[in-house]
Amino acid sequence: MAQKPNIPKGTRDFSPIEMAKRNYIFNTIREVYALYGFQQIETPAMETLQTLMGKYGEEGDKLLFKVLNSGDCLSKVSDEELAERNALHLASKMCEKGLRYDLTVPFARYVVMHRDELQLPFKRYQIQPVWRADRPQKGRYREFYQCDADVVGSDSLLNEVELMQIVDTVFSRFGIRVQIKINNRKILTGIAEVIGAADKIVDITVAIDKLDKIGIDNVNEELRQDGLSDAQIEKLQPIISLTGSNDEKLNTIAGVLAESETGLKGVEETRYILETLKTIGLNNEIQLDLTLARGLNYYTGAIFEVKALDVQIGSITGGGRYDNLTGIFGMQGLSGVGISFGADRIYDVLNTLDLYPKDSINATQLLFINFGEKETAYCLPLVTKARQAGIRTEMFPDAAKMKKQMNYANAKQIPFVVLAGENEMNEGKVTLKNMITGEQQMVSGDELVTIVKA
């Protein structure tokens, strides 16, 4: 007996209804991006490991899916190296490519490779899958889609403001209540400076970014293991547990960071973004969260994260400013800022809250019942007429029993069915049945189109 097929953990198949829901998400995000002047690009699923490694921090590097070289991937590996069983060393000999971990680093590579063709500032969006060798769990997958928007070639904080408007607009269209969290890596750098641990900024940000997941005690223990003294950890506590309004938090942290030029610069940038958004007005709350760190090493300024208020799930959108990302590819001085919508988590939130519009899920609107060759020939011009009017229409391909065809319509939740037999053909009309109400009426081709479209 053949073994039942399966798929890798952390990946999923999607049914037609699920794809309709996903396309609703992608199309909504795509429409909002276009409203703000962003243009779409695509990059390969695979990048060279030289492009990917070292861009996501040590933890990120461990989550990269590496692709074995074609042909004899062991040709460059000696017996001694095999015997040592050093996985990282073997991977460097056997793998030259990897699946992309996110869309931002490939975008930076794209900008450097195509710099002579780009009009700066360059506003791009990208909707493609990414892969991470993470432990699968609810809301966390090994293969998932990101929907990114980035602006490069502009230092203006108006870009950050605009991205927050995009986030607010997208979730307002979805009907999802969210909280937008904002912080600044310069503030975090300033905090590290004032507690006397400037050299530990990466360790501090990686640790406090886990606060929601593992709690303050475990964060403190991780900081202790990273080499921070008890006195430094103690100084950190009132900062990361700061409460109050955004203005109150900014005023307090500005006092704490009075001796840090970098930290005060972060406060100034954050204040500008929040004050500008006040004048525009958002539908969703934006909150300054000094524990927000976003562990990726390439962020240098404002950082963002979005949480759904009515569903327990991780971040559904994130991003930030990166002043030096293209520098790692030899292109210095090009600033960028971007956001990424986690489409798969948004999908789960919309499912949980049942927020999909009905017309985004229903595919076929109209089904013509097949009574035989003569009736089909009569119906086909009307099928074409309906499609030309923009109605999603099917003609059942076989002259099967009526019950089978009606079951097909019910299974696909098709709202209207057309029946055309001898009587209808003699009158030059068809019978239109509303599958929801059960109502039937004899109508002309024009009337059919009008009723279904309405």
The 3-state secondary structure of the chain, one letter per residue: CCCCCCCCCCCCCCCHHHHHHHHHHHHHHHHHHHHCCCEECCCCCEEEHHHHCCCCHHHHHHCCCEEECCCCCCCCCCHHHHHHCCHHHHHHHHEEEEECCCCHHHHHHHHHHCHHHCCCCEEEEEEEEEECCCCCECCECCEEEEEEEEEECCCCCHHHHHHHHHHHHHHHHHCCCEEEEEEEHHHHHHHHHHCCCHHHHHHHHHHHCCHHHHHHHHHHHHHHHCCCCHHHHHHHHHHHCCCCCHHHHHHHHHHHCCCCHHHHHHHHHHHHHHHHHHHHCCCCEEEECCCCCCCCCCCCCEEEEEEECCCCCCCCEEEEEECCCHHHHCCCCCCEEEEEEEHHHHHHHHHHHCCCCHHHHCCCCEEECCCCHHHHHHHHHHHHHHHHCCCCEEECCCCCCHHHHHHHHHHCCCCEEEECCHHHHHHCCEEEEECCCCCEEEECHHHHHHHHHC
C-beta of residue 421 within 8 angstroms of C-beta of residue 372 = no
CA 344 centroid distance within chain: 7
CATH number for position 120:
3.30.930.10
C-beta of residue 160 within 8 angstroms of C-beta of residue 131 = no
- Same domain for 158 and 126, yes or no, is yes
- Same domain for 267 and 332, yes or no, is yes
pLDDT at 139 over 70: no
What residues make up the domain containing 207? Answer: 16-44+100-353
Query: Can you give the pLDDT at residue 295?
Result: 60
As a whole number, the mean pLDDT across the chain is 89
Ranking 102-116, 172-186, 394-408 by mean pLDDT, the lowest is: 102-116
454 vs 450: CA distance, rounded Å:
6
Res. 2 pLDDT band, cuts 50 70 90 = confident
For range 232-236, the mean pLDDT: 80
For range 378-401, the mean pLDDT: 96
- Same domain for 123 and 189, yes or no, is yes
- Same domain for 126 and 222, yes or no, is yes
Which of 324, 353, 382 lies at the terminal end of a domain, its last residue? 353
Q: Nearest Cα to 185, choosing from 202, 164, 166?
A: 202
- Same domain for 196 and 343, yes or no, is yes
- Same domain for 217 and 266, yes or no, is yes
Q: Nearest Cα to 66, choosing from 36, 90, 43, 37?
A: 90
Which of 304, 332, 353 lies at the terminal end of a domain, its last residue? 353
pLDDT at 238 over 80: no
Higher-confidence position of 172 and 330: 172
Res. 177 pLDDT band, cuts 50 70 90 = very high
pLDDT at 107 over 80: yes
- Into how many domains does the chain fold? 2
269 vs 278: CA distance, rounded Å:
15
- Same domain for 178 and 308, yes or no, is yes
Ranking 25-39, 88-102, 135-149, 367-381 by mean pLDDT, the lowest is: 88-102
- Same domain for 155 and 250, yes or no, is yes
Ranking 7-11, 227-231, 438-442 by mean pLDDT, the lowest is: 227-231
Q: Could you give the strand order of the β-sheet that contains 66-68, starting from the edge strand earlier in sequence?
A: 46-48, 95-99, 66-68
Q: Is residue 95 included in any domain, yes or no?
A: no
pLDDT at 60 over 90: no
Res. 99 pLDDT band, cuts 50 70 90 = very high
Q: Is residue 54 included in any domain, yes or no?
A: no
pLDDT at 106 over 60: yes
- Same domain for 164 and 265, yes or no, is yes
- Same domain for 415 and 274, yes or no, is no
Structure tokens at 249: 């938090």
Q: Is residue 417 included in any domain, yes or no?
A: yes
Q: Is residue 86 included in any domain, yes or no?
A: no
CATH number for position 445:
3.40.50.800
- Same domain for 269 and 417, yes or no, is no
Q: Is residue 91 included in any domain, yes or no?
A: no
Ranking 65-69, 275-279, 300-304, 397-401 by mean pLDDT, the lowest is: 65-69
pLDDT at 75 over 70: yes
Which of 325, 353, 381 lies at the terminal end of a domain, its last residue? 353
Q: Is residue 92 included in any domain, yes or no?
A: no
- Same domain for 377 and 302, yes or no, is no
Q: Is residue 420 included in any domain, yes or no?
A: yes
Query: Can you give the pLDDT at residue 242?
Result: 78
pLDDT at 296 over 70: no
Q: Is residue 62 included in any domain, yes or no?
A: no
pLDDT digits (tens, 9 = 90+) for 263-279: 999 999 999 999 999 99
